[in-house]
Structure 1
Amino acid sequence: MSSNSGILIIGSDTCESFGKVPKTSNPKAYFEFDFEKHMQKLLLDGEKPENLNESSVGRFAATEIMRNGKQYYEFGPDSLKNGTIVSGVAFNPKDMLLRVKNRIGKEHWVNENVIQYKKDSLYFIQQIVCDALKEEEMEIYQFLKYLNKSKSKK
């Protein structure tokens, strides 16, 4: 006995489901998907942003410069220059300079965003910038946690 039942399909084969988790063997991909969904729910009431603009994400960097046998480091928004020793995503790259300034003594500053430092200090400078980026990241997450708590109380 053969069955001639049909199935109603809505949409097309190429239609993507917004809430469907893509199949993957990478567990990190599931975290990223869940995190994105959680942030959309928290910040955008579950709506997906209309257009994601990758260039709107700012970056902060430190660049190494050697002049006249002296070691200099320049800090500022990342413009993908040669000599970049560390770069990271920053909510406000211009304000990141203040975080770095708070970690380096005044005597090292040559001008607004350049320091002269001893040779072989690359790792030290990288660590300072990474710590400043982590500090900003922690403040952002604390604010998101505050928003999450205040939203769940309603």
Structure 2
Amino acid sequence: MTSTTNLLSIGNDTEELYNKLQKTSNPKAYFEFEFENHMRKLLLNGKKPKELDEKSIQIGRFVAAEITRNGKQYYEFGPDRYETGVIVSVCSFVPNDMVFRVKNKIAKEHWVNENVIQCKKNSMCNIQSIVCECYQEECNDIYQYLCYLNK
């Protein structure tokens, strides 16, 4: 007796290869594979990520640049568009939001306009640490959100 049953195939061969780990003696490879699968389940509902379009990448850079005019020290903050005087540059999901984080850490009397402050000379280390603190806050917020998604 012959069977006339048809089987329904879900997925394709490339998906099957994508989800299987090649045998290796490197334990780090297993962690990376498991981490990638776990993040895919959390963020993409288990689907394979799409190919990245370089023009649509949301991560930008936030920069603090040092400017000296008329013997006065200024620092300008914003998305990476500065070519000279950069004292700190960090990756950020929302570079414009970083200005608000910095504004909360620096006294109002220092602000000259929306994204420029005037400070004493030799305050570069202080500005760098403030920007790094704000960057760490953003990283913590992202981590907290990922923990929330994991629950």
Relative to the length of structure 1, the TM-score reads 0.74
Q: How does 1:4-153 map to 2 (within 5 A)?
A: 17-19=17-19, 20=21, 34-54=34-54, 56=57, 57-149=59-151
User: Matched residue of 2:40: which SS?
Assistant: helix
Q: Deviations over 1:33-56 (max 9, x none)?
A: 554433222110222321224552
User: Matched residue of 2:90: which SS?
Assistant: strand
User: Matched residue of 1:59: which SS?
Assistant: strand
Q: Deviations over 1:44-80 (max 9, x none)?
A: 0222321224552122111111111211110001125
1:4 equivalent in structure 2: none
User: Matched residue of 2:105: which SS?
Assistant: coil
Question: How many percent identity over aligned positions?
Answer: 59
Relative to the length of structure 2, the TM-score reads 0.75
CA contact (8 A) 2:65 2:82 kept: no
Give structure 1 stretches of 5+ with no counterpart.
1-10, 12-16, 150-154
Cα distance in structure 2, aligned partners of 1:92 and 1:30: 32
Cα distance in structure 1, aligned partners of 2:54 and 2:25: 24
- The structural deviation recorded for 1:124 is 0.6
- How many pairs are equivalent? 133
- The structural deviation recorded for 1:100 is 0.2
Cα RMSD for the two superposed structures: 2.6
Cα distance in structure 2, aligned partners of 1:112 and 1:36: 40
User: Matched residue of 2:18: which SS?
Assistant: coil
Give structure 2 stretches of 5+ with no counterpart.
1-12
- The structural deviation recorded for 1:123 is 1.0
- The structural deviation recorded for 1:31 is 5.8
Q: Which amino acid aligns with 1:133?
A: Y
